[in-house]
Amino acid sequence: MAEFVSTEVQEHVGVIVVNRSERRNALSLQVKAEIVDAVRTLEVDERVRVLVIYGSGGCFAAGTDIAEMAEMRPTDHLRQATEEVFQVVRHSRKPVIAAVEGYALGGGCELALACDLIVAAADARFGQPEIRVGIMPGAGGTQRLLRTAGRYKAALWTLTGDMIEATEAYAANLVSLLVPSGEALSRAIDIGTRIASMPPLAVQAIREALRLGADVSLETALALERRLFERLFDSEDQKEGMKAFLSKRQPLYRGR
Nearest Cα neighbor of 27 from 16, 37, 39, 35 is 35
* Residue 214: count of CB within 10 angstroms of its CB: 11
pLDDT of residue 68: 74
Distance CA(199)–CA(240), nearest Å, equals 10
pLDDT in tens, 213-254: 988 999 999 999 999 999 999 999 999 899 899 999 998 888
Q: Is 53 helix (H, G, I), strand (E, B) or coil?
A: strand
pLDDT in tens, 165-189: 999 999 999 999 999 999 999 999 9
* Residue 105: count of CB within 10 angstroms of its CB: 26
Residue 4 has pLDDT above 80, yes or no: yes
- The band of 82, judged by pLDDT with boundaries at 50, 70 and 90, is confident
pLDDT of residue 208: 94
Residue-range domains of the chain with CATH = 5-196 (3.90.226.10), 200-247 (1.10.12.10)
* Residue 59: count of CB within 10 angstroms of its CB: 23
pLDDT of residue 72: 67
* CB-based contact 198:251 (threshold 8 Å): no
Nearest Cα neighbor of 169 from 131, 231, 202, 120 is 120
- State the burial class of residue 118 (Cβ atoms within 10 Å of its Cβ: 0-12, 13-18, 19+): buried
Q: Is 201 helix (H, G, I), strand (E, B) or coil?
A: helix
The full DSSP string for 226-254 is: HHHHHHGGGSHHHHHHHHHHHHTS-----
Distance CA(253)–CA(247), nearest Å, equals 15
Distance CA(222)–CA(204), nearest Å, equals 17
